[in-house]
Amino acid sequence: MDIRFVSSLTAEDENLCAPALLKAVGALLDQFPIAYTVRIETSGAQVYQHSHAGAADPSAKREAPGAAAQGSTNGNGVRPALSSSDVIRRAFLQ
């Protein structure tokens, strides 16, 4: 899959937003047992990249994001994944 995003941001604004966007997308995709690379190239020639190798055991079952109540655990002491809106909100508000 190749996704292109074209914006009217200035080069300076792109350089400010790109790291937060990369962090938000990475946090969202890290919830899934997939290998991926996200690469952002700004109009100012800056490159931001994040890679994830995926799950070591593809047969391992994961709880669906948001399936458990916020603040509870899935029975293994692991908190449920954040919703995509929570991830984006945290990335841009930090």
pTM value is: 0.54
Neighbour count for residue 63 (Cβ, 10 Å): 15
The average pLDDT across 80-88 equals 59
**Tens-digit pLDDT profile for residues 36-77:** 999 999 988 889 999 988 776 555 455 555 544 445 445 555
72 burial (CB, 10 Å; 0-12 / 13-18 / 19+) is: exposed
Q: Is the dihedral of CA 34, 1, 40, 23 positive or negative?
A: negative
**Amino acid letter for position 38:** V
Q: How far apart are CA 13 and CA 1, in angstroms?
A: 26
- CA 10 – CA 16 distance, rounded (Å): 10
